[in-house]
Amino acid sequence: GDSVTQMEGPVTLSEEAFLTINCTYTATGYPSLFWYVQYPGEGLQLLLKATKADDKGSNKGFEATYRKETTSFHLEKGSVQVSDSAVYFCALESGGTSYGKLTFGQGTILTVHP
Amino acid sequence: DAGVIQSPRHEVTEMGQEVTLRCKPISGHDYLFWYRQTMMRGLELLIYFNNNVPIDDSGMPEDRFSAKMPNASFSTLKIQPSEPRDSAVYFCASSYRQGLNEQFFGPGTRLTVL
């Protein structure tokens, strides 16, 4: 079945550091890929998405590229801020009979210090 | 739009009691999801509906859990009887078929079963 694996956390960085959170997936067909973010005490919200191979999703300085050959969708940001401290979830939607259903990774806690 | 609305935001109950969680999806959305989040198990999909019809309830942990969606603007998740291991944050999310699978999450209900 479908699955998503994220790098182990927590990740602790200083402000303005470079961020990478690795995400790899297993799915049938050609899934759509997502990154969701959860700020403390809130529900998840969509950060960015990519629907086909080689697409790059971007939002708020975050980027991720859909790599079909390596089945990966790594999240990157060039310069993190304290306000980026949150939990980040990689997810996929494989369509077909599972249309609309997201499979989430386990989440990666990011803490950014001033 | 007010977003996905969940009630109550916090619920504390004793083992054996019935618990009912409520969700109002965003108007016009035709998919509704119930998730459970814990530190040990991460984010788990319990059940989801399309046009008020349950599509996949394979994530419902056992017969003590039930979910209904009597109309397009309301859903409930019921636990009877509740147990301490049911303590978690329960999220409701909604989406619409034409929305490229972005799920909009509610703020969650934090359930504590003593």
Q: Give pLDDT, residue A41.
A: 87
Q: Give pLDDT, residue B21.
A: 98
Q: Distance (Å, rounded) from C-alpha B26 to C-alpha B5? A: 8
Q: Distance (Å, rounded) from C-alpha A57 to C-alpha B86? A: 36
How many other CB atoms are found less than 10 A from the CB of residue A106? 16
Helix (H, G, I), strand (E, B) or coil at B86: helix
Q: Distance (Å, rounded) from C-alpha A26 to C-alpha B103? A: 21
**pLDDT tens digits along B64-85:** 999 999 999 999 999 999 999 9
Residues of chain A with C-beta less than 8 angstroms from the C-beta of B56? 98, 101
Residues of chain B with C-beta less than 8 angstroms from the C-beta of A30? none
- Contact across the interface for B102 and A100, Cβ inside 8 Å: no
Contact A2, A31 (CB under 8 A): yes
Question: Which positions of chain B have pLDDT values less than 70?
Answer: 1, 98-101
Residues of chain B with C-beta less than 8 angstroms from the C-beta of A44? 43, 91, 93, 103, 105
In Å, what is the CA distance from B8 to each residue of A30, A80, B44, B107, B111? 38, 34, 20, 10, 9
Binding-face residues of B in 41-80 toward A, CB within 8 A:
42-43, 45, 48, 50, 55-56
Task: Provide the token pair at A55.
Answer: 């697409």
Helix (H, G, I), strand (E, B) or coil at A65: strand
Q: Give pLDDT, residue B71.
A: 94
Q: Give pLDDT, residue A88.
A: 97
Q: Give pLDDT, residue A7.
A: 84
Question: Which positions of chain A have pLDDT values less than 50?
Answer: none
Q: Distance (Å, rounded) from C-alpha B88 to C-alpha B19? A: 13
